[in-house]
Amino acid sequence: MVDRRRVFVPGDSAARSVGADEVARRITQISSERGLEVEVVRNGSRGLYWLEPLVEVETPEGRIGYGPVTAAEVEGLVDVGFLDGGDHALKIGVTEEIPYLAKQDRFSFADIGVIDPFSTSDYRAHGGLSGLTKALSMSSQEIVAAVSDSGLRGRGGAGFPTGIKWQTVLDAVADEKFVCCNADEGDSGTFADRMVMEGEPFLLIESMAIAGVAVGASVGYVFIRSEYPDALSAMRRAVEVAYEEGWLGSDILGSSYRFDLHVKSGAGAYISGEEMAMLESVEGRRAVVRAKPPLPAIQGLFGKPTLVNNVLSLIAIPRILTGGSKEYRERGCARSRGTQVFQLAGNVAHPGIVEVPFGITLHELLYGFGGGSRSGRPIKAVQVGGPLGSYIAVSDFSMKVDYETFAQAGAMVGHGGIVVHDDNTDMGKMARFAMEFCAVESCGKCTPCRIGSVRGMEVIDRILAKHDVLDNLRLLDDLLETMTDGSLCAMGGLTPMPVRSILKNFSAELGIDSIDLVEIGRVV
Amino acid sequence: MESARNQVGFALWSSADAGEIVDAHEGEQGSLLEILVAFQQRFGYVDDEAVDLLADRLNLSRAEVYGVVTFYADLKREPASGHTIRICRGESCQAVGATEIVEVAEQVFGGKLGTTDDNGVALEQVFCLGNCALSPAVMVDGELIGRVDAARIRELAARLGGYQGG
């Protein structure tokens, strides 16, 4: 009996950016020419990006992968019988046995890249909706307690305990409350939120519905940056399906709960990812930061109590409910519980998603998983936590990655993005770029950020040009302190972090000798 | 209804069409930005006339509408005259040669980043397209391209009718 074969060619936007659509078309075309019964599934990405487009075929031994495949190579693959796992130079074997994947602990990313993102039956077959079903059998307080007990902390960057946030919104008394998912993933080096929305959009929808049931909100918003057109259309399509299936709207899953979900698009502003500025964008205004307090949990969207969570925080919830808080809490170290979805990017041989418990060393991430630099040259530094994170030098690669260890070292885990630089990167230019980025993206509300970033570029330019280095270093130190202490939000407040880390770790590249640094003292 | 289109496929600005987009968002809370994004997608820019139209229809001050139109990088004030190439200058792309990509693009398209060349091709910088695992990345009229190198930029210039000189 000849079965209809399932062939997986990721529809993930990154896989598409390197030719996955052409590969999918070619497979369909050649199969039909040869009378082969093939169903091409456009799954999400497994997050093994150096292998994209990664084509997988279902065999009795499991899913066998080939990659990176180009459209021109498809005919050759069909010739060697890749539909039955035939040998070919591009064959990498059973995908799940690739060490990169086998060594991971895919708690949140278990099904991303595995299932058809828009198939409700695939979703259910992989445990979809069991979290929401469980939530509907629990009281609001029980759900919030389960989240608190798990030890989950906000994955957007700040690391605030998620349970406390949920409790605050639950306890707030109001006629209306909202759940708002921050999917404005603007940090360079991060792409996990995008992969979730493109690869398993129902998981985010289910997670938000659980949040709504838990805190007493009947309306939710997903705010997605416009640089993610595929994620926007995937979420819109999935929301439509979810309404048809009765997962959203009135009486969700036959319960008495109502939950409506709206997808909102950004319009090209990094600052929209800042929690308070995002609420302004969702309300249709300029993304100008609001002063805190009041916290959004008390007075957020349209002045109502609002639960604001990142995509990665939310999607951990369904499995925390079904598997128990303990299952999550047992992973990780110290006060950093559970898994972190690390994203390896930049100059790295094996870029992609590495989901592992907190406590792994940078060295293991970069060499054990990342395979060193892509260029083959020595790694010089990694920037962790996005454009506002520290540059960490090779001598600190033995450091464990968790919130506390990083905070102690003057760094931050942020959203889990790690950008690798080899020895060709000019660190002086990166320090200047940190200020340039802030100058371009500042919302303009507070002076330390709006003006400080421009003055920062100027003063770093003078240092790089060796003009009055010592005086300009003092000025820079003063400026960094003002930005850190005087800015309204993390944009201006954390821009000094990458700059100071470069002053500390790579001072020679700024043309500063150690004597200057001793005189400045506090800069390091 | 078939609207007249310009050479890059956007509908020509029409008050009636714009009004219909506003109608579609009737009764929604905080719909200003969504409507402006819809204008941008339909017409390729936000016409000056939109400020009065939206102030009137949404009961906002003209200043408030103008403020939003000018805040967001995606919202253009002039109609696009050609293709748009957005080059990522995020740290991840810089780590694998984004600076060189910008230089080559400026050379083959004959214009600086942030300007539009004689053929109407607009070169823009963008900070992160979420393709950091396949850096360097560019986006051409909304199509994402990864693992870009200098040769790919020249190929694009040839395809899109750029200047190609140097």
The encoded tokens of residue B1 equal 């209804």
Query: Chain A residue closest to B89 (CA)?
Result: A188
SS3 state at A107:
coil
- Flag whether B56 is in a domain: yes
Q: How many CA atoms lie within 13 A of A485 on its CB side?
A: 6
Q: Do B71 and A229 touch (CB under 8 A)?
A: no
- Flag whether B96 is in a domain: yes
In a shared domain, residues B143 and B89: yes
Query: Chain B residue closest to A422 (CA)?
Result: B95
Spatial CA neighbour of A105 closest among A413, A342, A370, A366: A342
In a shared domain, residues B95 and B60: no
Q: Do B72 and A287 touch (CB under 8 A)?
A: yes
CA A194 from chain center: how many Å? Answer: 7
The CA distance from A352 to the nearest CA of chain B, in Å, is 6
Instruction: Write down all domains in chain A, each with its CATH number in brackets.
Output: 5-102 (3.40.30.10), 128-327 (3.40.50.11540), 331-422 (3.10.20.600), 427-520 (1.20.1440.230)
The encoded tokens of residue A219 equal 């309306």
CB contacts, 8 Å: B37 with chain A: 226, 265, 267
The CA distance from A372 to the nearest CA of chain B, in Å, is 14
Mean pLDDT of chain B: 92
**Rounded CA separation A505/A104 (Å):** 31
Cross-strand bridge partners of residue A182: A223, A310
Q: Which amino acid is at B3?
A: S
- Flag whether B24 is in a domain: yes
Name every residue whose Cβ is closer than 8 Å to that of residue B27 and which is 6 or more positions away in sequence: none
The encoded tokens of residue B162 equal 């750029």
The CA distance from A302 to the nearest CA of chain B, in Å, is 9
Main-chain dihedrals φ then ψ at residue B116, nearest 5 degrees: -115, 130
CB contacts, 8 Å: B32 with chain A: 284-285
The encoded tokens of residue A158 equal 């700040």
Query: Chain A residue closest to B76 (CA)?
Result: A267
pLDDT tier for residue B110 given thresholds of 50, 70 and 90: confident
Q: Do B134 and A16 touch (CB under 8 A)?
A: no
Q: Do A17 and B144 touch (CB under 8 A)?
A: yes
Q: If you search the block for the tokens 């919104």, which residue do you land on?
A: A169
Spatial CA neighbour of A264 closest among B17, B90, B30, B20: B30
Q: What number of other Cβ atoms are within 10 A of residue A29's Cβ?
A: 13
pLDDT greater than 90 at residue B9: no
| DSSP label of A310 | E
Among A188, A194, A268, the residue with its CB nearest the CB of B90 is A188
Whether A39 contacts A21, CB under 8 Å: no
Angle CA(A312)–CA(A315)–CA(A317) in degrees, nearest 5? 120
Query: Could you report the predicted ipTM of this complex, rounded to two decimals?
Result: 0.95
Cross-strand bridge partners of residue A259: A249
* Pairing status of strand A339-346 against strand A260-265: unpaired
- Flag whether B35 is in a domain: yes
CA dihedral (A167, A170, A173, A177) positive or negative: positive
SS3 state at B30:
coil
- Flag whether B125 is in a domain: yes
Instruction: Work out how many domains chain B is built from and give that number.
Output: 2
In a shared domain, residues B102 and B134: yes
pLDDT tier for residue B2 given thresholds of 50, 70 and 90: low
CB contacts, 8 Å: B88 with chain A: 188
Among A13, A226, A283, the residue with its CB nearest the CB of B144 is A13
Query: Chain A residue closest to B91 (CA)?
Result: A188
In a shared domain, residues B62 and B106: no
Q: If you search the block for the tokens 């360079």, which residue do you land on?
A: A188
SS3 state at A159:
coil
In tens, the pLDDT along A232-251 reads 999 999 999 999 999 999 99
CB of A441 less than 8 A from some CB of B: yes
Q: Which amino acid is at B49?
A: E
CB contacts, 8 Å: A352 with chain B: 133
Main-chain dihedrals φ then ψ at residue A348, nearest 5 degrees: -135, 140
The CA distance from B6 to the nearest CA of chain A, in Å, is 22
Return the pLDDT at B166: 42
In a shared domain, residues B65 and B31: yes
- Flag whether B6 is in a domain: no
Interface of A with B in 15-74 (CB under 8 A): 16-18, 47, 49-50, 52
Q: What's the Cα-to-Cα distance from A381 to each of A26, A347, A512, rounded to whole Å?
A: 41, 10, 18
Q: Do A268 and B74 touch (CB under 8 A)?
A: yes
SS3 state at A336:
strand
In a shared domain, residues B145 and B115: yes
Whether A204 contacts A247, CB under 8 Å: no
Return the pLDDT at B120: 85
Cis omega (within 30 of 0) for bond into A293: yes
- Chain B residues near any Cβ of chain A (below 8 Å): 29-34, 36-37, 40, 64, 67-68, 71-75, 88, 90-96, 126-135, 137, 139, 142, 144-147
Q: B134: domain CATH number? A: 3.40.30.10
Whether A269 contacts A150, CB under 8 Å: no
Query: Chain A residue closest to B96 (CA)?
Result: A347
Return the pLDDT at A236: 98
Q: Provide the terminal-to-terminal Cα distance of chain B, rounded to the nearest Å.
A: 44
Return the pLDDT at A390: 98
Return the pLDDT at A515: 60
CB contacts, 8 Å: B132 with chain A: 188-191, 343, 345-346, 351, 417, 419
Name every residue whose Cβ is closer than 8 Å to that of residue A283 and which is 6 or more positions away in sequence: A301, A302, B29, B30
In a shared domain, residues B88 and B142: yes
Q: Does residue A333 come out as left (phi exceeding 0), alpha (psi in the -120 to 50 range) or beta?
A: beta
**Rounded CA separation B77/A478 (Å):** 39
Whether A188 contacts B127, CB under 8 Å: yes
What's the average model confidence in pLDDT over B64-88? 95
The encoded tokens of residue A506 equal 């790579």
**Rounded CA separation B19/A436 (Å):** 39
Q: What domain range includes position B147?
A: 84-160
The CA distance from B22 to the nearest CA of chain A, in Å, is 14
The CA distance from B128 to the nearest CA of chain A, in Å, is 5
DSSP string, B74-102: T--SS---S-EEEEE-SHHHHTTTHHHHH
Residues in chain A, pLDDT under 50: 1, 524
**Rounded CA separation A505/A524 (Å):** 9
The encoded tokens of residue A417 equal 């993005």
pLDDT tier for residue B82 given thresholds of 50, 70 and 90: confident
- Flag whether B1 is in a domain: no
Spatial CA neighbour of A473 closest among A411, A524, A438, A435: A524
Q: For chains A and B, what is the number of CB pairs under 8 angstroms?
A: 152
The CA distance from A420 to the nearest CA of chain B, in Å, is 7
Among B34, B128, B145, the residue with its CB nearest the CB of A188 is B128
In a shared domain, residues B89 and B114: yes
For helices A192-199 and A201-215, the axis angle rounded to 10 degrees is 100
What's the average model confidence in pLDDT over B69-96? 95
Q: Which amino acid is at A174?
A: A
In a shared domain, residues B107 and B146: yes
CB of A304 less than 8 A from some CB of B: no
SS3 state at B124:
strand
In a shared domain, residues B155 and B89: yes
**Rounded CA separation A348/B92 (Å):** 10
Q: Do A227 and B129 touch (CB under 8 A)?
A: yes
In a shared domain, residues B42 and B95: no
SS3 state at A275:
helix
Whether A68 contacts A48, CB under 8 Å: no
A22 sits in which H/E element: helix A20-33
Q: Does residue B44 come out as left (phi exceeding 0), alpha (psi in the -120 to 50 range) or beta?
A: left
Q: Which segments within A225-337 are labelled E, that is strand? A: 260-265, 306-310, 332-333, 336-337
In a shared domain, residues B65 and B126: no
Whether B138 contacts B125, CB under 8 Å: no
Return the pLDDT at A1: 43
DSSP string, A453-497: HHHHHHHHHHHHTTSSHHHHHHHHHHHHHHHHHH-SSHHHHHTHH
Of all residues in chain B, the percent with pLDDT exceeding 70 is 95
A518 sits in which H/E element: helix A514-520
CB contacts, 8 Å: A185 with chain B: 130
- Flag whether B10 is in a domain: no
CB contacts, 8 Å: A302 with chain B: 29-30
Q: Which amino acid is at B22?
A: V
